[in-house]
Amino acid sequence: MTQEATVEQPDGVRAQARLARTAARVLAAASRARKDAALAEMADALDSHVPEILQANAADLVNAEGGDMSAAMLDRLRLTEHRIAEMADGLRELIRLPDPVGEVVRGSTLPNGLQVTQVRVPLGVIGIVYEARPNVTADAAGLCIKSGNAALLRGSASAYQTNRVVVAILSAALASSGLPGEAIQLVGAQRATVAELLTARGLVDVVIPRGGAGLIEYVVSTASVPVIETGVGNCHVYVDSAADLDMAEAIVLNAKTSRPSVCNAAETLLVHRQIAEQFIPQIARALQGAGVTLHGDPDVARLAEEVEPATDHDWATEYLSLDMAVGIVDSLEAAVEHISRWGSGHTEAIVSDSASAIGGFVAGVDSAAVMVNASTRFTDGSEFGFGAEIGISTQKLHARGPLGLPELTTTTYVVTGSGHIR
């Protein structure tokens, strides 16, 4: 009820951001013990409110089924008892991770005796704009609380009922643990609220959009608040002339088919001309056997059956489906050039046994992650051992690659003297 009232007032997001700011100052000073206790209480609260969450989710699903949502999207929206238990476990896993706040990043005593330390502090108020999956609500809230920040969550309209109940439960648990409940707030799902969040300069410290290219584009062109772009992955696998072709087959197959709907799945395969005659038929069989539709250049179409012609659209697209663009390149440099033109700066892989080719590829591509003889699917916070992630940054500023807890902080220089003047 209060939630709806807040959402309906004209200055809704700014008013919410002001409350979040006050809450953030309390969170910033909270000890790890208090934040961990809150996370435990939040996890328990999810476990003990499963029926309410499922009921709200059922309402969202009924609405969505009346619309034109794809089966895949409906599946992302759907919560089950098991998925709610996973959300709760995600919060409990955060308890085990170290607190980034207070970490001394560097420190020294200057020649004049001034002691300089650079210390991690929370960012403050973090806005997160995301699409259908309601499990993001709990993950994002937990990461923000653990890192001492307040979260303004702007989920999609399709998940609004679910998000509303989940946020009410988490916020109440936070309050009952003694921290301010306003540190976790849901923003209304009206169209205008995204722009309100993105322009709440001075109230919101950063907005992290999680979603497709369209959302990211809208966000960066609208925001006056700083943004961390995430999630668009037009990832490439380059199979070099010096590749072990069986290794290459396994890596390409894994990168494309193990989970095609995620951002670290591969979308384009580039094959060195010297091995194309042998490798293209081999990989085409393997991919097509796994249900993948190939979109190839004319040379590829000569070497394999049932290849759709690839257009510029194919080189540019993040399919997120069982489709793969396939091209033949004359050299490593041509592969790097192709990636530099069409890639999104997420993850590129090379399969090769040549040290000089590997070196050239690593130096040449400009992406958040480069995989050498490994699947693109490894670009992931939990695979990297960060324990949890709020997304994968494809921008160069602040943080690039998986965003873990330290990436949700900034730093302050604390300089201690004894009457020092210049």
Q: Which residues bind a second copy (CB under 8 A)?
A: 25, 28-29, 108, 110, 114, 116, 118, 121, 123-124, 201, 205-206, 220-221, 224, 226-228, 244, 247, 250-251, 253-255, 258, 340, 362-363, 366-375, 377-379, 383-385, 395-398, 400-401, 410-422
Name which of 77 and 408 has its Cβ closer to a second copy.
Answer: 408
User: Would you give the distance in Å from CA 195 to the centre of its chain?
Assistant: 20
Distance in Å, CB of 29 to a second copy, minimum: 6
Residue 24 identity: A
> To the nearest whole angstrom, how small is the minimum distance from the Cβ of residue 170 to a second copy?
24
3-class DSSP state of 243? coil
Rounded least distance, CB 392 to a second copy, Å: 10
Smallest distance from a second copy to CB 158, Å: 27
Residue of 180, 126, 179, 178 lying closest to 153 (CA atoms): 126
| Strands 150-154 vs 115-122: parallel, antiparallel or unpaired | unpaired
Residue among 302 and 396 whose Cβ is closer to a second copy: 396
Q: What SS3 state is found at 309?
A: strand
Shorter beta-carbon distance to a second copy: residue 71 or 355: 355
CA distances from 61 to 47, 69, 79, 139, 161 (A): 21, 10, 10, 21, 10
CB of 391 to a second copy, least distance (A): 14
* 185 within 8 A of 170, measured Cβ to Cβ: no
Nearest partner of 167 among 182, 157, 156, judged by Cα: 182
How many CA atoms does the CB half-sphere of 396 hold within 13 Å?
Answer: 4
Minimum Å gap between C-beta 299 and a second copy is 26
Q: How far is the CB of 3 from a second copy (least distance, A)?
A: 27
Phi, psi of 172 (to 5 degrees): -65, -40
> Please, is 110 exposed, middle or buried when counting C-beta atoms within 10 Å of its C-beta (0-12, 13-18, 19+)?
exposed
- Which one, 169 or 253, has the nearer CB to a second copy? 253
Indicate the residue among 42 and 252 with the shorter CB distance to a second copy: 252
How far apart CA 33 and CA 99 sit, in angstroms, is 10
Single-letter amino acid code for the residue at 38 = A
Of 117 and 190, the one with the shorter C-beta distance to a second copy is 117
* Shortest separation between residue 66's beta carbon and a second copy, angstroms: 36
Closest to a second copy by CB, 273 or 341: 341
- Rounded (5°) CA angle 329-356-351: 55
For residues 108 and 176, which CB has a smaller minimum distance to a second copy in the complex?
108
Q: Which is nearer to a second copy, 10 or 111 (CB)?
A: 111
User: Which residues, in sequence order, are CB contacts of 330 under 8 Å at separation 6+?
Assistant: 272, 273
Smaller CB distance to a second copy: residue 157 or 220?
220
Tell me the Cα Rg of the chain: 24
Least gap, CB of 25 to a second copy (angstroms): 8
Asked if 238 contacts 335 with a C-beta cutoff of 8 angstroms, the reply is yes
- Phi/psi of residue 193, each to 5°? -70, -25
Q: How far is 222 from 130, CA to CA, in rounded Å? A: 16
CB of 373 to a second copy, least distance (A): 5
